[in-house]
Amino acid sequence: MGMEQAWLIPALPAAAFVVITLVGKYLPRKGDWVAIGAIAASFVLFFFVLADLLDVVDEPGFTGGEKSWEWVSFGDFEIRLGFFTDQITIVMLAVVSFVALMVQIYSVGYMRGDPRYGWYFAVMSLFVAAMLTLVLADNLLLLYAAWEGVGFCSFLLIGFWWEKRAAAEAAKKAFITTRIGDVGLLIGILMLWREAGTFDISEIFEFAEAGGYGATYLTVAVLFLFAGAVGKSGQFPLHVWLPDAMEGPTPVSALIHAATMVVAGVYLVARMLPLFELADPIALNVVTGLGLTTVLISATMGLAATDIKRVIAYSTLNSLGLMMVALGSHSVTAAMLYLFVHAFFKALLFLGAGSVIHATEKQELDELGGLASRMPLTTVTFAVGTLAMIGIVPLAGFWAKDEILHFTEVGQNAGVYGLMLLSVFITSLFMTRLFIRTFLFKSRDPESRKHAHDAEPAMTVPLLILAVLAAISGFVVFSGVGEAMGFPGGFGEFVFLEHAEEFEFNWDIVVLSTVLGAGGMMVGYVFWANDAVPATRMGELFRPVYNVLYNRFYIDHVYQFVIDRVVLTGSSIVSWFDRNIVNDTGVDGSAALALLAGWQLKFTSTGKLPNYALAISSGVIILALVFLIVKA
């Protein structure tokens, strides 16, 4: 067992999907144990793959373990289907298989009694299979197929409660918005393939390093690839779908819209970073710019959002932006480290929010509050997640965030660095608000608080495990910790683009980010403590600013306007053209012409034999004459 068998990891959940879909309703518990068993087996398999990788990772010239089969071949043209394992893949595999396992267990409690309980586990399994395929794909075509697969599962799961109009619309919005990016991704893939003649990622890298692509061509191609990442990872300006995606069941948000699918874009850019490096610097500047914009707008929008899940969705956007900035600063290490720890604390936050919603059936911050005494376990774990997100020492988020800040300081100009620091403060502010408004002080809806309590073990155990990981997973940056677990060293010595880097304490950044984080928490406490009087007063004082934030910078409004006015006008013109020109004139017209011609011509058939004989003979004579003239 090892990297050669890595394909089994996605194959198991895929098989679970098939089993549950076909015979799920005859199985006990509608087959949820099939889904959990499959993902648990995948998680175990992951360790075999990891052990195999660790055996060879130190060997010089190691680039990754590969196993591929012929997929399509016609003539000389061949597409191979393959799976590829290297350090970046391993990090993603760990995140996806582990978080999926936690979320599936949690879902047993959360989804109990749902009329489509079995279907939920089937689609979740399909999602996990697609996501793992995406991670392991060795060629861009398979990656693209899996990319669409996760998008489709995301669509199904956001719209899981499609009887609710908002859920159906959110699903549609998510699907269409990400599709816009996906078109770019496809164009990028085809551009890379057109010159290199292969979809294989390593071969494309070799081709690019040999200078096979023109500089401008490559820049355009990677920017198209990045468009796919922008859609999937909710970067500005395609971020609008992610907050709405919260209409889905909360475990779905935890798995798909926090820990795995939305980081697929980050993973794609990290994986293709050698190409971004070879391209014009403008490519990575675009990555940084959009990432930074996302960081800032999401943090500020999070300040005004009122739905507990939406606030966490904005924090996810914030984190995704941070990862993009890290990639824009040439650091795979920082981005992947953040991705790694983010999966734990963000899944934790979502599952905690799920517990709150499960217990109170409320998700507006204005109807929550004072839950700490009723749900101590949820409160404590949620607090760990919040602190990790803010980046307080020594929780996981702290190490990752400082790594990103460090690379931003080194790799970007002072303006970018300053805005990043500002975002640390705002993030801390809105995460503090979320926590205070949900768990502390007086409840604003005592009725729902009265019967709130911590959930059953199926839901609390994943919370606890994730909380522990959210607290300690950041220590992987230290060489000692990494070596103790059998890795070559700390995170930076395991996942890197060109050369390994040992983690170093950067006291400036540590002090600065801690001060900003803690400052944000204090200001947040002053603002939102008790009845949140200062915050309300601030909101009234800066009413226009508050309105802009509350209305999400009017970006959704602008899109709605564009869709209503431009897209629908355009489509009505096209539909008029189709109806009148293509259909009525072209299709119906040619049919009518044939009918008319037939009507006119049928009167020439008299039924009299001599007429036909005359027509045949004169026809032959004319043909003969024509033949003679042409020949002569």
Partner 1 sequence: MIPIDNFLVLSSILFAIGMYGVLARRSALLILMSVELMLQAVSINFVAFAVYLSPEVFTGLVFAIFVIVIAAAEVGLALAIVLRLYRNRQTANVDEADALKW
Q: Which of 69, 76, 504, 608 binds partner 1 (CB under 8 A)?
A: 608
Cβ contacts of residue 449 below 8 Å, gap of 6+? 360, 369, 370, 371, 374, 443
Residue among 499 and 602 whose Cβ is closer to partner 1: 602
Q: Which of 472, 508, 299, 484 is nearest to 393 (CA)?
A: 472
Least distance in angstroms from the C-beta of 622 to partner 1: 14
Cβ contacts of residue 86 below 8 Å, gap of 6+? 53, 63, 64, 65
Q: Which of 388, 373, 381, 243 is nearest to 316 (CA)?
A: 243
Least distance in angstroms from the C-beta of 619 to partner 1: 13
Residue among 592 and 615 whose Cβ is closer to partner 1: 615
d(CA 481, CA 479): 6
Least distance in angstroms from the C-beta of 631 to partner 1: 18
Q: Which of 310, 302, 312, 326 is nearest to 259 (CA)?
A: 312
Least distance in angstroms from the C-beta of 626 to partner 1: 19
Is 69 a binding residue for partner 1 by CB under 8 A? The answer is: no
Site string for partner 1, 565-604 (x = CB under 8 A): -------------------------------------xx-
d(CA 428, CA 579): 56
Q: What CA dihedral angle connects 461, 432, 532 and 550, to 10 degrees? A: -100
Least distance in angstroms from the C-beta of 21 to partner 1: 58
Least distance in angstroms from the C-beta of 613 to partner 1: 5
Q: Which helix (H) or strand (E) holds 65?
A: strand 65-74
Least distance in angstroms from the C-beta of 603 to partner 1: 7
Q: Which helix (H) or strand (E) holds 70?
A: strand 65-74
- Span of 253-261, 471-479, 544-552, 613-621 interacting with partner 1 by CB under 8 A: 613-621
Indicate the residue type of 194: R
- What are the two backbone dihedrals, phi and then psi, of residue 607, each rounded to the nearest 5 degrees? 85, -5
Is 628 a binding residue for partner 1 by CB under 8 A? The answer is: no
Is 499 a binding residue for partner 1 by CB under 8 A? The answer is: no
Q: Which of 450, 500, 605, 625 binds partner 1 (CB under 8 A)?
A: 605
Residue among 581 and 620 whose Cβ is closer to partner 1: 620
Site string for partner 1, 344-383 (x = CB under 8 A): ----------------------------------------
Distant-in-sequence contacts of 501-508, Cβ < 8 A, 24+ apart: 501/333, 503/399, 503/403, 503/477, 503/478, 503/479, 506/402, 506/406
Is 606 a binding residue for partner 1 by CB under 8 A? The answer is: yes
Is 115 a binding residue for partner 1 by CB under 8 A? The answer is: no
Q: Which of 567, 594, 613, 626 binds partner 1 (CB under 8 A)?
A: 613
Residue among 541 and 628 whose Cβ is closer to partner 1: 628
Q: Which of 617, 623, 624, 627 binds partner 1 (CB under 8 A)?
A: 617
Q: Which of 60, 75, 415, 610 binds partner 1 (CB under 8 A)?
A: 610
Least distance in angstroms from the C-beta of 618 to partner 1: 10
Here the tokens at position 147 are 């990319």
Indicate the residue type of 252: V
- Span of 455-463, 467-475, 585-593, 610-618 interacting with partner 1 by CB under 8 A: 610-618
d(CA 77, CA 366): 61
- Span of 51-59, 139-147, 215-223, 607-615 interacting with partner 1 by CB under 8 A: 607-615
d(CA 445, CA 451): 11
Residue among 563 and 613 whose Cβ is closer to partner 1: 613
Helix residue ranges, H only, 213-280: 215-232, 241-244, 250-254, 264-271, 273-278
Residue among 592 and 613 whose Cβ is closer to partner 1: 613
**Matching residue, tokens 């034999």:** 609
Site string for partner 1, 121-150 (x = CB under 8 A): ------------------------------
Q: Which of 341, 337, 340, 299 is nearest to 318 (CA)?
A: 299
- Span of 149-157, 226-234, 236-244, 608-616 interacting with partner 1 by CB under 8 A: 608-616
Q: What residues line the site for partner 1 (CB under 8 A)?
A: 602-603, 605-610, 613-614, 617
